[in-house]
Amino acid sequence: MKITPLEIRQKDFEKTFRGYDKEEVDAFLQALSQEWERANDEIKDLRKRLEHSEQEASRLREVEHSLFRTLKTAEDTGASLVEQANKSAELHVREAQMNSEAILNESRSKARAMVEEAEMQSKYYFSELQDDVQKMQREFQEIQNLRDNLLHDIQSITADFSQKAQRYVDKPVSNSVDKKIKQIKSLSDTGKKIELPKQVEEPAPLKQIEDQTNVIAEVKPTPSVKNSESTSFFDNI
C-alpha cells in the first residue's frame, strides 16, 4: 500500500476510553510524515540518479560498442595494412632481387667484355711488338750484311788498288824507251821529221795513289744480297 506524507498527517484515529495520548500520536505522525517525505524525496533523487546512471550506462555501452566497432575496424584495417605491407615488401624484395640479378649480369657482361677487349688489345700489341722485333732483327741483319759487304768491298778495292799501284810502280820504263828509239831510227831512215815527246810519262807518286784509294773507300757501294756476288766498278780499272 502506497502511503503519502499528507495521508499520514491527516490520519484520524477513533477515540476510546483510556486510548493513546493524542498529542504524542500527532507528534509521532508529524515526524513520521516528515521522515516519509524525506525518504520519498531521497527515493525520487535516487531514481533520478538511477535513470541518469542508466542513461549514462547506455551511452557508455554505445560508446563501448562504437569503440569495439572502431577497434574491430582498426584491427581489420591494421591486418589489411599489414598484409598489404607484406605483399608490398615481398614485391619490393622480388623487384630488388631481379634488379640486383640484372645489374649483376650486366656487370658480369661488361667485365667479360672488358677482359676480352683487354686480351685482344694485349694480343694485338704483343703481335705488333713481335713484328717490330722481327723487323728490327731483319734490319739489324741487313745492316750487318751491309757492313760485311762494305768491308769486303773496301778490302777488295784496297787490295786491287794496292796490286795495281804496285804493278804500276814496278812496271819497267825500258820497254817504252826502246820502243821510242826504234821509232826514231825508222823515221831517220825515211828522212821524216822526228817529233820527240816533250815529257816522258813517269809513274804517279805512291802517295797520290794512296789518296785516291782513301777517297774511293769512302764511296758507299750498293749493298748486295750475298758476299760471293758483290762487285765493284773498280774491277774494270
Measured CA angle at 83 (ends 103, 79), to 5 deg: 155
Contacts for 206 with CB less than 8 Å, ≥ 6 apart:
165, 169
pLDDT of residue 9: 66
Q: How far is CA 91 from the centre of its chain?
A: 31
pLDDT of residue 3: 63
pLDDT of residue 203: 46
The Cα-based distances of 30 to 3, 16, 21, 24, 34 in angstroms read 14, 21, 14, 10, 6
Q: How far is CA 27 from the centre of its chain?
A: 116
**pLDDT of 159-190, one tens digit each?**
888 888 777 777 665 555 566 666 666 666 66
**CB 237 within 8 Å of CB 163:** no
**pLDDT of 127-151, one tens digit each?**
989 999 999 999 999 999 999 998 9
Q: Is the pTM of this model over 0.75?
A: no
pLDDT of residue 191: 54
Q: Which residues of the chain have pLDDT under 50?
A: 1, 194, 196-207, 209, 213, 215-217, 219-237
pLDDT of residue 77: 87
Dihedral Cα 227, 233, 235, 237, nearest 10 deg: -170
